[in-house]
Amino acid sequence: MFRRFSIRLRDDAHHRVQQALRIKGIVNIIRLSEEIRLNNLAENIAREDIEDLVMQIAQLYGAPIEFDDQALTALDLPDILDDDNRNDLERALRERCGADPQVNLLQLDD
């Protein structure tokens, strides 16, 4: 499905891809897409759609790319979004148990 992005989101994506190239020399598609999504929450666009946009921009610049299989989600990016950004399932379990659940559902094993 063709997805139209706002000019602001497109500019943000171009800026972040260029910044990643200058600083790291490689574009982490998943992490960068999640950061862009969090900075543009009001637009309500799925990360997968933003990943496609970031991939196209990275290809436009001929940037080396990576897909970090343990890329950080909103839970792991507290510097970007300071609010309580746990997922709904984990939040519901916490409210139902009255305390922190013993199992972190989104914890990745190292």
| Dist CA 27 CA 62 (whole Å) | 10
Angstrom distances, CA of residue 43 to CA of 3, 33, 51, 54, 108: 12, 14, 15, 16, 29
- Ranges of residues in the chain with a pLDDT under 70 are 1-3, 69-110
| Dist CA 29 CA 7 (whole Å) | 20
| Dist CA 82 CA 70 (whole Å) | 21
pLDDT for 4 equals: 84
pLDDT for 67 equals: 81
pLDDT for 68 equals: 72
